Structure 1
Amino acid sequence: MTNPAEGGGMELRQLRYFVAVAEEGGFGRAAERLHIVPSAVSQQIARLERAWGVVLFDRTTRRLRLSAAGERMLPEARAVLAAADSAARVAVDIGTGGDGILRVGTVHGAGGRLDRVMAGLAACAPKLQIRLRSMPVADRLTAVRAGELDAALVRAAGRAPGLTMLPLWTDPLHVALPESHPLASEPLLRLDMLGHLPLRLAAREDNAPFHDLISDACRAADAVPPSGPPFTGLQETLAAIATAPCPSWTVFYEVWGLPRAPRVALRPLAGLTVTTYLATLPGPPGPGLRHLLRALREAQSAESDGEARTTDAQAVARDSPTT
């Protein structure tokens, strides 16, 4: 006898025929319901009985009735069919991007922007599960190329071999230097003003895109500063700038607003910004990724509208007469 646990040649259509015959009470009525001939129903039921090694119907009476084995197997057959129908619905939803898992590499300090994107995704595709993964920049890009991530947020990397880089948003950069340094009195700093001070910058292998952004900008400004101790973390580096006997500086982007830094001056850097990109494989995006792109666009639009309202409010306040 064939082991039922191994499938036994069972087909879903045979289970559908079995349930239809049980509910209709005969092969003829089941055939009408299924829009096939009665002989086809009878043949498939017989094959199912042989596969399972049980008799599902009592055929000795005028009215076809379930056998004891048939009564026991009927709820199991219904459960299998319900599971198969559910799986088919999920597959359809995955195909349209309404369900499934989207794996996204993220950047440190995406903050409220990422929250807004997640809220937008939840609104347009509530069944879509988002798996955020934090890893070094190079690993993020490698994971997208290998298909281990569907997309990744990356700062400053405008180009990456084998990937499409979609610009998302741009942030200002800030300089941190000792509060006692003469340049701390300047409201805005340029790179050419800082060329004589040692620069604390993360090693290139730790964050090549940002390292190259700053290094290239310094060379373009004809202000290549001496190398200072490496940038480790923001708070650690700010503390070192505040206490080191020799002045130095670093450049950073906001994560959760400007940090508190005793004895350190934080000034905006003129002429240079950092852009965050979405790295994807080339070609048309899949359904889930299309939902992500839509949520990103909506988040960007909402941010732009908020900035415009803030600018308008500031202009009104500035132009309003005072008493």
Structure 2
Amino acid sequence: MELRQLEYLVAIAEEGGFGRAAQRLHVVQSAVSQQVARLERELGVALFHRGGRAARPTPAGEQLLPKARAALAAVAVVTETAAALAAGSGGTLRLGSSRAFTGRVHRALDRLADQAPQVRVEVRQETRRARLEGVRSAALDAALIRGEEPSPGLEFAPLWDDPLLVAVPATHPLAELERLGPADLAGLPVRLAPREHNPAFHDLVLGALRRAGAEPPAGPPFTSLQGTLTALAADAAAGAPSWTVFDAPDPLPQTRRIALRPWDGPPSTAYLVRRAGPGPGTLPALLRALTES
């Protein structure tokens, strides 16, 4: 297996065809086709459905794509880190974050202190929208974000997957189940923040529900975690039960009126967002520390 084969795999999936992938990579289409065919023979699985001018990943291709992206990102980290060390790069990195990432960020900073003490990081807690705008405007060097969304000029590097939790009233029959999936929750109103506040998370949850054939009615909007759980319990007591889903915080909220169950659906992926093109030479060291923490 060669790195260029993984590059071709990712490019075809993102561009939707062999020809467009070849244009993006500045190679001839036959080279892309030959390398992917070699990779398929080596792995023993078909990676793409071929038909007309389009190419869609097979189930095997879908499963391999995240691994291919992670491998390419790891190579980029090694290359950029070596270049930064050779150049003696220093300076302070400005990282946008939120309280949800506090534990992971502290562990990454501890790792950086051991592995790359010349890298200094200034952490700024901002809303999701402010983090994205901060990276785009160069007010931030990078930001931690849950969920990917189309953002011209920005690059999203996947870091880790986090499980989600479902909250339902403790008195509701659903609270008797050990796990709750999209199909289980089909008939109960769901509390989500407006899509413009977090498009990626909104689409993750509603997409999972729709794939399960579920179209739950919209409940009151999600505000803060504590406020939403309090309202959920109060509304259930008044005969209007609903549910919500969220990234598991540390520590978990404690209340006898709410049952928290693992979400039996897709996880939430955390990304490091940066501007496209060359960035600070010390950024790869931070990316590696976050990935390993």
Q: Structures share a fold, TM > 0.5? A: yes
* Number of the residue aligned with 1:298: 292
* Number of the residue aligned with 1:187: 178
* Number of the residue aligned with 2:251: 257
CA contact (8 A) 1:200 1:250 kept: yes
Q: Distance in 1 between matches of 2:217 and 2:86?
A: 53
Structure 2 residue 281 is matched with structure 1 residue 287? yes
- How big is each residue's C-alpha offset from its partner over 1:114-161, in whole Å with a ceiling of 9 and x where there is no partner? 111011222233343311112221221122122111111000125432
**Pairing of 1:86-101 with structure 2 (within 5 A):** 96-97=88-89, 99-101=90-92
**Pairing of 1:77-116 with structure 2 (within 5 A):** 96-97=88-89, 99-116=90-107
Runs of at least 5 residues in structure 2 that lack an aligned partner in the other structure? 1-83
> Aligned to 1:297, what secondary structure does the other structure show?
helix
> Aligned to 1:279, what secondary structure does the other structure show?
strand
1:94/1:100 CA distance change after superposition, 3 Å: farther
* Number of the residue aligned with 2:145: 154
Structure number with greater Rg is: 1
> Aligned to 2:130, what secondary structure does the other structure show?
helix
Question: Out of 198, 201, 206, which is 2:197 matched to?
Answer: 206
- How big is each residue's C-alpha offset from its partner over 1:268-302, in whole Å with a ceiling of 9 and x where there is no partner? 11122100000112234431202212322332xxx
Q: Which fold has the larger relative contact order, with Cα–Cα distance below 8 Å and residues 6 or more apart in sequence? A: 2
- Root-mean-square deviation (CA, aligned residues, Å) is 2.0
Structure 2 residue 220 is matched with structure 1 residue 226? no
* Number of the residue aligned with 1:41: none
CA contact (8 A) 1:105 1:135 kept: yes
Q: Distance in 2 between matches of 1:294 and 1:220?
A: 34
Aligned length: 207
Structure 2 residue 116 is matched with structure 1 residue 125? yes
Cα deviation, residue 105, structure 1 = 0.7
- How big is each residue's C-alpha offset from its partner over 1:50-96, in whole Å with a ceiling of 9 and x where there is no partner? xxxxxxxxxxxxxxxxxxxxxxxxxxxxxxxxxxxxxxxxxx99952
Structure 2 residue 262 is matched with structure 1 residue 271? no
Segments of 4+ in structure 1 off by > 6 A?
Answer: none
CA contact (8 A) 1:189 1:268 kept: yes
Cα deviation, residue 208, structure 1 = 2.1
Question: Out of 157, 171, 182, which is 2:162 matched to?
Answer: 171
Runs of at least 5 residues in structure 1 that lack an aligned partner in the other structure? 1-91, 300-323
CA contact (8 A) 1:195 1:224 kept: yes
CA contact (8 A) 2:136 2:275 kept: yes
Q: Distance in 1 between matches of 2:181 and 2:291?
A: 32
Instruction: Report the residue type matching 1:205 in the other structure.
Output: E
Overall identity of the aligned pairs, in %: 46
CA contact (8 A) 1:111 1:255 kept: no
CA contact (8 A) 2:208 2:265 kept: no
> Aligned to 2:195, what secondary structure does the other structure show?
coil
